[in-house]
Each structure stands twice: as structure tokens, then as C-alpha cells.
Amino acid sequence: MAEQPLYRQIAEDLRQKIESGAVARGSQLPTELELREQHNASRNTIRDAVKWLITRSLVETRPGQGTFVVEKIDPYVTELSSGSGGGESAVYESEVAAQSRTPRTTVPRVEVQQAWGVIAAELGLAEGSMVVSRHQQRFIDDRLWSLQTSFYPMRFLEQGATRLIQAENMQPGAVKYIADTLGVEEVGYRDTITVRSPDMNETTLFGLPSDGRVAVVEIFRTGLDDHGKPIRLTATVFTADRNKFVIRSQAPTTVADSATPGLRAVGSDND
Amino acid sequence: MAEQPLYRQIAEDLRQKIESGAVARGSQLPTELELREQHNASRNTIRDAVKWLITRSLVETRPGQGTFVVEKIDPYVTELSSGSGGGESAVYESEVAAQSRTPRTTVPRVEVQQAWGVIAAELGLAEGSMVVSRHQQRFIDDRLWSLQTSFYPMRFLEQGATRLIQAENMQPGAVKYIADTLGVEEVGYRDTITVRSPDMNETTLFGLPSDGRVAVVEIFRTGLDDHGKPIRLTATVFTADRNKFVIRSQAPTTVADSATPGLRAVGSDND
DNA sequence: GGGTATTTGTCCGTATGTATT
DNA sequence: AAATACATACGGACAAATACC
């Protein structure tokens, strides 16, 4: 058994103290100079140990303040199998309200752009086809919770669904609007879930640590009509550290006995 | 606009070269000493830049060899909405075969243990209740792909489903075995998906980088009988970097099960 | 607002150990 | 065995962020 490097030994010692509760969550660790004396090592070695703890999300450093044990976060639960739901944002608002938190959604940023890669592939369009994209930021308790971008083929616009390019919230949902306007109904969908590192934009928006150790979960939902033809693609990005996802194989008709609180629809209060 | 630290500038320069394709995937980066001269920085600063790339899984270092651009991996796709049951391992084998790779599963390690925390909660048992656990490692092309542990309440054993504690693969699947033996049918399930850091065991088994920057995806599937009562809990762990997951809202076109029963029109009605 | 002390961040240099070829 | 390249560890210096007076 090879001996562990010194910085690992120090890191393990600190980790043990954290996980055993000897050092409380949220409390401050000794400063680098104090740890230097306690462990009889150089400051750089202490810093290597702290870095090891940082990559494991056990501690965080705040310049000018110190090193702190990270708080435990109870993940927000997102239901992916919202079978009968109408419009993701409606589901979102009622679900968020059910967990007694305050939802907020920005006014969509609407663009017409070309579809490449996954977007074109999922929508069944040729590379470079024009699509309408509607981008929103969704907040919970004034903290950014998810980034959502929906893409719609340009043909819907040409066929008369002109509200798709208006930068305003579509209350019953854009999918319902397309159904009402064009008679194209979404009867199913396909979700693809991937985990990846955040890009720079996501890092700043979510306020993630700049070293990119916190992953994001990206969920592509492709809505399908009764011929299995794609109607829309909605890409939603969540931080991986404070979200989890639940899928039910059948409609939750008997939710009553579950631990899930009843869904209280929130009145569309403000903007 | 604040100026970036030197190590970040160097890292960004290397990142740009990698992502633009100027440096091929899998190829070797210049050595630290060469980079030191190219960027006119100290070796430690070069190492800080390389570390930044490492945490983003862009490069990897091999002692004695050099620094290499990581290969792009095409993720293995797992279908979570395998609707009509049939045992997860059966689905697994056919799916893996369909992607023309070679599946392999270890003989299960069977234990009788106490259920705590999520296991007890998901199975609807009191803390400390006895459960049967069956643990398997699943390989694709001789590389560990997922770790799977299923938990069954002890009452099934007492009621006669004795094969549950036998350390052998149950070919049609344990769920089907319970249905055949006890008449308890699984009519639905609930999946919970979380992303977390790997523990030490998972790090070694999957051969993940020891600094724990690659997350794992853990999926809990709770099987439910027709009363919504939990039958079993299956926890499966995947590496987050080489897997993605697909969920379909309805059976794929292959299943002609019931042509068009109550297809819930999305957006038809809701709260 | 300013100044100062504290604390982490960046950067340098050097030396030695360990893994691979 | 020797050469190469990364890993660990030490030391020092200054910058930047924060808190407090």
C-alpha cells in the first residue's frame, strides 16, 4: 500500500472532520496559515488539500474571507412525466407553487435563427433550416433555476401561428397555441437527458463556481404529433447539484397517498 | 473588463486550439516545459492552466508520457421508458445488442440487510427493516457500464419467493418471478434521477479520474403494484460522461398494443 | 470615504519523487 | 540503466477581495 501524498492526507483529515460533523456545515475552516501550522506543511500544500476538497464540493473559498464548509442543499424536484399537463411553464408554475416557493419567468427572448446539429436533427429539419427560438429564464425564489429554449419550425409561422414570434408569455402554452391555431396536436414527446459541463454563459448566469466542477443537466424534449413528426424542441438546462428528476410510468391519478403535496395552481399573479 | 489571470489566458488559448480542431483529439499536447517557453510563464503556471483544462475534461495527463486531448466519446443511450416491463436486464441485453456491442453481467451478489434512508422510504418500509439486495455489475464490451442493486422487501421471501436469495441470474427477471410466484404484479414505476460525485468504490470500479470531477448519474426505479404499493427498488449508477437517457411519453411505434386508447391530448385540459 | 489588517489568489523559482518509455 | 515527463512539496512575493475601524 503506497503512502498517500501529504496533501491527500491533510484533505482526508479535513474531510473526516466535515463528514463526522466535527466541523459544522456553513462554518469556516481554519485559515491557510493556521492549517499550515497545524499540519506542519507549506501553504501551497495546504492549498492543494483544499483544492481537493473543493473539487468534491465539500468546501468553498471566499477571497478575503476564508474557506467554508458548503451547506447541504435539498434538491428541487422536477416531474418529467407531466403526462396530461398543458405547457411546460404551467406545469412549472403549479409545481413550484406546490413546493411553496415563488416562481418567476422572464419575458421570452424570441429569435429567428438557423437550426444546426441536434436542433435540426431532433426537429427533423435540414441543416440550416430556419426556426423560431423562444428563450426564457426561470427563477425560483429569485434565484435562477433553469434556462429554457424552445425551437419551432418556421412552417408554423408561415401557416399562421404568428404569435410565436411575439416576445410575450403565451399563457396556456405555445404548444396549445399551435394546436388551437393550426390543429397540430402534440400527442407525445421524447426526452433526452444528458449531463455535461456548463459553458461560460451558464456558469455566470447560474452563479456556478468558475472552475466548472458543477455539471449541468440538459433535457431535450421533442414534442411529436400523431404521426410521430416533431413539432417543437425544448431544451432546458438545470444545475446538477440542486435538482433531481422524477418520472412516473403512468399518470399520477392516485397521487393522494404519495408524499407529494397536492398541486395548487398558482394564479397568474404578475407579468 | 478585468484582465484574466495568466493561467486562464493560457488555458483559454489551449482550449481554443482543441475545440477548433487545431489540436487533434487524442493527440499529445506540448510538454509542460515546451508550453513554458511558448507562453513565457513558469512551469507552475502552465500546470495551473492544464489543471483548469483537466477539470473540464478537455485533456488528461499521463505521468511519464505527457498531456493528451481526451477522445470524444459517443454516449451510450439508455431507454428509461421500457414500458411493458420484462425485466431490466432483458431490456438491457437486447438494447445493448441492438447497438452492436457485447453485453455481460456478473453473477449477482445477494445479501440480506437492513434498509435505511432512501431505501426504506422508497419501499415504504420502516427504518431498519430487512430487505434482500441483489447487486450486479453490467459491462459493455468488457468495460464496466453500470452498477445495479435491487432491493426487495423481506416479506416476498417469507411468502415463498425463495429464489430471490439465490445468487444466480433470474432470466425472465426477478420482477416477473415475483409476479409468477406471488401474484404481485408490477404495473408501474417511479424513476428518480440524481447526479452526484462518485464515491471511492465507484471511482475505482469505473476507472474514473481519482479527482472525482466526473459525476455519476444514479437512477432509482421504484416498482409499484396495482395499489401503488412499492414492490422493489432498483438503484443503477452510470458515469455521467458516457451515457445519456431517453424517455418516451408513449410506447414506440413498434408496440401495437392498443391502437389509440385514451391518448391524452397534451394541452387539452388541466388544472 | 479611506486606511489597514486579514485572507485567499496568482505567480515565480527550486528540488525531489514517481511513472513510463 | 537512462532519459523524459508529470507529481509533489517547499519557499517567497505581490495582487485582489473583504471586513472593520
Tens-digit pLDDT profile for residues B54-94: 888 888 888 888 889 988 888 888 888 755 444 565 556 55
- Residues with Cβ within 8 Å of residue B166, at least 6 apart in sequence: B110
Which residue in chain A is spatially nearest to B223 when comparing CA positions?
A: A249
d(CA A59, CA B259): 55
- Residues with Cβ within 8 Å of residue A100, at least 6 apart in sequence: none
Q: Which three cell numbers stand for residue B193?
A: 434521477
Whether residues A35 and A84 share a domain: the answer is no
Q: Which three cell numbers stand for residue B133?
A: 439486495
Please check the confidence at residue A271 and state whether its pLDDT lies above 60.
no
The verdict on residue B271 lying in a domain is no
Please check the confidence at residue A249 and state whether its pLDDT lies above 50.
yes
Whether residues B23 and B95 share a domain: the answer is no
CA–centroid distance for A162 within its chain: 29
- Residues with Cβ within 8 Å of residue A244, at least 6 apart in sequence: A75, A76, A77, A78, B192, B193, B194
pLDDT, tens digit (0-9, with 9 covering 90-100), for A200-248:
789 888 888 777 778 999 999 999 999 999 999 999 999 999 999 999 8
Give B102 or B15, the one with higher predicted confidence.
Answer: B15
Instruction: For helices A32-39 and A43-55, give the axis angle rounded to 10 degrees.
Output: 110
Whether residues A190 and A205 share a domain: the answer is yes
Pairing label, strands B76-79, B243-248: parallel
Give B12 or B256, the one with higher predicted confidence.
Answer: B12
The verdict on residue A96 lying in a domain is yes
pLDDT at B263: 26
Whether residues B165 and B39 share a domain: the answer is no
pLDDT, tens digit (0-9, with 9 covering 90-100), for A122-181:
999 999 999 999 999 999 888 899 999 999 999 999 999 999 999 988 878 899 999 999
In angstroms, what separates the C-alpha of B138 from chain A's closest C-alpha? 20
Which residue in chain B is spatially nearest to A94 when comparing CA positions?
A: B271
pLDDT at A85: 43
Nearest Cβ partner of A247 from B191, B213, B266?
B191
Beta bridge partners, A137, equal A147
Which of A32, A52, A69 is at the close of a domain?
A69
Q: Which nucleotides of C are covered by protein (CB under 7 A)?
A: 5-14, 17-21
Instruction: Decide: CB of A1 under 7 A of nucleic strand C.
Output: no
Considering chain B, what percentage of its residues have pLDDT values greater than 70?
A: 84
Please check the confidence at residue A11 and state whether its pLDDT lies above 50.
yes
Task: Give which of A149, A119, A114, A144 is closest to A134, Cα–Cα.
Answer: A149
The verdict on residue A59 lying in a domain is yes
Please check the confidence at residue A114 and state whether its pLDDT lies above 90.
yes
Of A149-158, B8-17, B92-101, B149-158, the least confident:
B92-101
Q: What angle do CA A146, A215, A18 make, to 5 degrees?
A: 110
Instruction: For helices A43-55 and A6-19, give the axis angle rounded to 10 degrees.
Output: 50
Please check the confidence at residue A104 and state whether its pLDDT lies above 60.
yes
Which of A51, A69, A87 is at the close of a domain?
A69
- Helix (H) or strand (E) holding B222, with range, is strand B216-224
Dihedral of CA atoms B150, B154, B158, B160 in degrees, nearest 10, equals -10
Structural domain boundaries, residue B244: 76-265
Please check the confidence at residue A98 and state whether its pLDDT lies above 80.
no
pLDDT at B243: 93
Dihedral of CA atoms A251, A254, A255, A257 in degrees, nearest 10, equals -150
- pLDDT grade for B257, boundaries at 50, 70 and 90: very low
Taking an 8 Å cut-off on Cβ atoms, the answer to whether A81 and B247 are in contact is yes
In angstroms, what separates the C-alpha of A223 from chain B's closest C-alpha? 10
> CATH code at A144?
3.40.1410.10
Task: Give which of A253, A205, A248 is closest to A77, Cα–Cα.
Answer: A248
- pLDDT grade for B3, boundaries at 50, 70 and 90: low
The verdict on residue B26 lying in a domain is yes
Q: Dihedral sign, CA of B15, B16, B17, B22?
A: positive
Whether residues B94 and B62 share a domain: the answer is no
* B→A interface, C-beta within 8 Å: 52, 55-57, 75, 80-81, 83, 187-195, 197, 211-213, 215, 217, 228, 240-241, 244-250, 253, 263-271
Whether residues A80 and A65 share a domain: the answer is no
DSSP characters for chain A?
-PPPPHHHHHHHHHHHHHHTTSS-TTPBPPPHHHHHHHHT--HHHHHHHHHHHHHTTSEEEETTTEEEEPPP-PPEEEES--TT-SSHHHHHHHHHHHTT--EEEPPPEEEEEE--HHHHHHHT--TT-EEEEEEEEEEETTEEEEEEEEEEEHHHHHTT-GGGGSSS--TT-HHHHHHHHH-----EEEEEEEEE---HHHHHHHT--TT--S-EEEEEEEEE-TTS-EEEEEEEEEETTSEEEEEESS--TTGGGSSSPPPPPPP----
Q: Which three cell numbers stand for residue A225?
A: 404529433
- Residues with Cβ within 8 Å of residue A89, at least 6 apart in sequence: A105, A136, A138, A169, A173
Whether residues A94 and A51 share a domain: the answer is no
- The spacing between the Cα labelled CA in B42 and the C1' in C13, in angstroms, equals 8
The pTM assigned to this predicted structure is 0.83
Q: Which three cell numbers stand for residue A175?
A: 404548444
Please check the confidence at residue B250 and state whether its pLDDT lies above 80.
no
Whether residues A248 and A121 share a domain: the answer is yes
> CATH code at A25?
1.10.10.10
Whether residues A63 and A119 share a domain: the answer is no
Give B177 or B64, the one with higher predicted confidence.
Answer: B177
Say if residues A186 and A225 touch (Cβ distance below 8 Å).
Answer: yes
The verdict on residue A271 lying in a domain is no
Which of A30, A47, A69 is at the close of a domain?
A69
d(CA B68, CA B58): 9
pLDDT at B234: 96
Task: Give which of A150, A114, A119, A112 is closest to A129, Cα–Cα.
Answer: A114
The verdict on residue B1 lying in a domain is no
Count the domains in chain A: 2
The verdict on residue A258 lying in a domain is yes
Whether residues A59 and A94 share a domain: the answer is no
d(CA B233, CA B223): 6
pLDDT at B126: 96
Taking an 8 Å cut-off on Cβ atoms, the answer to whether A57 and B265 are in contact is no
Say if residues A83 and B249 touch (Cβ distance below 8 Å).
Answer: yes
Q: Dihedral sign, CA of B223, B225, B230, B232?
A: negative
d(CA B76, CA B80): 13
Please check the confidence at residue B220 and state whether its pLDDT lies above 90.
yes
| 3-state class (DSSP) for residue B174 | helix
Instruction: Decide: CB of B111 under 7 A of nucleic strand D.
Output: no
Q: Which three cell numbers stand for residue A202?
A: 451558464
Whether residues A96 and A10 share a domain: the answer is no
Whether residues A116 and A52 share a domain: the answer is no
Give A166 or A252, the one with higher predicted confidence.
Answer: A166
Please check the confidence at residue B268 and state whether its pLDDT lies above 90.
no
pLDDT at B123: 97
Of A23-32, A138-147, A225-234, A256-265, the least confident:
A256-265
What average pLDDT is seen over chain A?
A: 84
The verdict on residue A110 lying in a domain is yes
